[in-house]
């Protein structure tokens, strides 16, 4: 399946708001887990049933509901019905090619973005779509498969570190987004180190593999930008929106989140420019080396033109060639050739051609 744009032929002719799974099935069965907490108590439940979810809306605790597996359309529909989610929201959740964005639905805020991972072996960026929906006392995350960047947030909730147990779902949403964007910066640093290592290689080598490596890194940088830029856009929206679901004290953290996303975008743009410069430098080095080779070959050609001429004249088979029977003709012949070669080399050196 294409990385930059996934096939949407399944959606042709479908009713707007009808969820259709677009992507690759990454788990056999979708699972639901819940972390329910307040400032004094916490409970964690795995393999949750729908009946349990229905009770969460009535509680005064914060309920973080996590779903792994987006291929189960019926499950997404049931959750949408329980929490009164708009059909278009359910449609966006099931579409793993959805552009990162944020929507304010008054009773809840819907966010979808990309969770990324850098594969060291293939030097490729692997991505997973994550949707976050938070209301007054609930937050739902939809993921394609288990394994995420949220373990630090879970540990803070379990160990009651920081303010997370004393505030609402808006701060929890911020904490999740913060972990995603922090990981963006880590990935950018990892791929950036490899790009910077190539600078010395490009200066010292004209290996034919280099342009292919540059092309691969450039493709991954473009892939990063495809995730970073719209993420920055919706974080900017979060910073300027007026919603009862976001506490005024949370805005200072959202502002810091905007700074991080801006840094991520600027970093990928910087590395994209570096890669373009490296490719130009490589092409320049190849051209320079080729010119050096051509210069040496040209010098030898120019030197041998008069020598070949003299040798051709001396080697003719005329019977009455004046120098032909002279005793020292052979030595004079070589002396003339060597003298001409030395004079021409000295001339080239004085001209700084060699």
CA end-to-end distance (rounded Å), the chain: 54
Q: How confident is the model at residue 41 (pLDDT cuts 50, 70, 90)?
A: very high
Q: Which residue has the higher pLDDT, 4 or 67?
A: 67
Which comes out higher in pLDDT, residue 212 or 323? 212
Write out the H or E segment, with its range, that includes residue 133: strand 124-134
What's the mean per-residue pLDDT of the chain?
A: 86
Per-residue three-class SS string for 140-183: EEEECCCCCCCHHHHHHHHHCCCCHHHCCHHHHHHHHHHHHHHH
Q: What is the DSSP letter of 98?
A: P
Share of the chain above pLDDT 90, in %: 50
Which 8-state DSSP code applies to residue 138? E
Q: Is 86 exposed, middle or buried (0-12, 13-18, 19+ CB in 10 A)?
A: middle
Mean pLDDT of 116-141: 90
Q: Which residue has the higher pLDDT, 148 or 354?
A: 148
Yes or no: say if 88 and 97 are a contact pair by the CB < 8 Å rule: no
Q: Where are the domains of the chain?
A: 9-285, 291-350
* Domain range 9-285, CATH class: alpha beta
pLDDT value for 301: 83
| Spatial separation of the C-alpha atoms in residues 100 and 130, rounded to whole Å | 9
Q: How far apart are the C-alpha atoms of 342 and 303, rounded to whole Å?
A: 9
Please tell me if the domain spanning 9-285 has the same topology as the one spanning 291-350: no
Domain 291-350 class in CATH: mainly alpha
Q: What is the DSSP letter of 25?
A: -
Cα separation, 184 vs 117, in Å, equals 8
Please check the confidence at residue 16 and state whether its pLDDT lies above 70: no
Q: Are 155 and 33 in contact (CB under 8 A)?
A: no
Token match 């490009």: residue? 202
**Max intra-chain CA distance, the chain:** 122
pTM of the complete model: 0.81
- Cβ–Cβ < 8 Å for 173, 111: yes
- CA dihedral of 146, 147, 149, 150, whole degrees rounded to 10: 50
């Amino acid at each position: 399946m294409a990385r930059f744009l996934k096939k949407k032929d399944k959606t042709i002719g479908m009713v707007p708001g009808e969820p259709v799974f677009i992507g690759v099935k990454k788990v056999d069965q979708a699972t639901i887990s819940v972390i329910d907490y307040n400032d004094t108590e916490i409970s964690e439940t795995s393999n949750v049933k729908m009946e349990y979810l229905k009770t969460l809306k009535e509680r005064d605790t914060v309920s973080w509901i996590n779903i792994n597996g987006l291929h189960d359309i019926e499950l997404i529909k049931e959750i949408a019905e329980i929490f009164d989610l708009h059909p278009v929201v359910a449609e966006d959740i099931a579409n793993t090619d959805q552009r990162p964005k944020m929507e304010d639905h008054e009773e809840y805020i819907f966010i979808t973005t990309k969770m990324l991972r850098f594969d060291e072996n293939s030097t490729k960026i692997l991505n997973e779509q994550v949707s976050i929906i938070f209301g007054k006392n609930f937050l739902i995350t939809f993921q394609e498969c288990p394994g995420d960047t949220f373990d630090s947030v879970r540990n803070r909730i379990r160990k009651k570190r920081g303010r997370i147990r004393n505030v609402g779902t808006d701060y929890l949403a911020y904490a999740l987004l913060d972990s995603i964007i922090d990981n963006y910066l880590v990935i950018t640093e990892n791929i950036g180190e490899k790009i910077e290592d190539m600078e010395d290689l490009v200066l010292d080598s004209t290996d034919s593999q280099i342009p292919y490596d540059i092309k691969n890194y450039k493709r991954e940088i473009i892939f990063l930008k495809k995730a970073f830029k719209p993420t920055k856009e919706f974080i900017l929206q979060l910073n300027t929106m007026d919603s009862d679901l976001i506490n005024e004290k949370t805005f200072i953290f959202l502002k810091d989140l905007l700074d991080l996303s801006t840094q991520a975008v600027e970093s990928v743009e910087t590395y994209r420019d570096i890669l373009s410069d490296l490719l130009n430098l490589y092409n320049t080095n190849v051209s320079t080396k080729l010119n050096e080779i051509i210069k040496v070959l040209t010098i030898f050609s120019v030197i041998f033109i008069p020598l070949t001429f003299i040798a051709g004249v001396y080697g003719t088979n005329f019977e009455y060639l004046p120098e032909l029977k002279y005793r020292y003709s052979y030595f004079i012949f070589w002396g003339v050739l060597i003298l001409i070669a030395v004079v021409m080399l000295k001339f080239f050196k004085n001209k700084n051609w060699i």
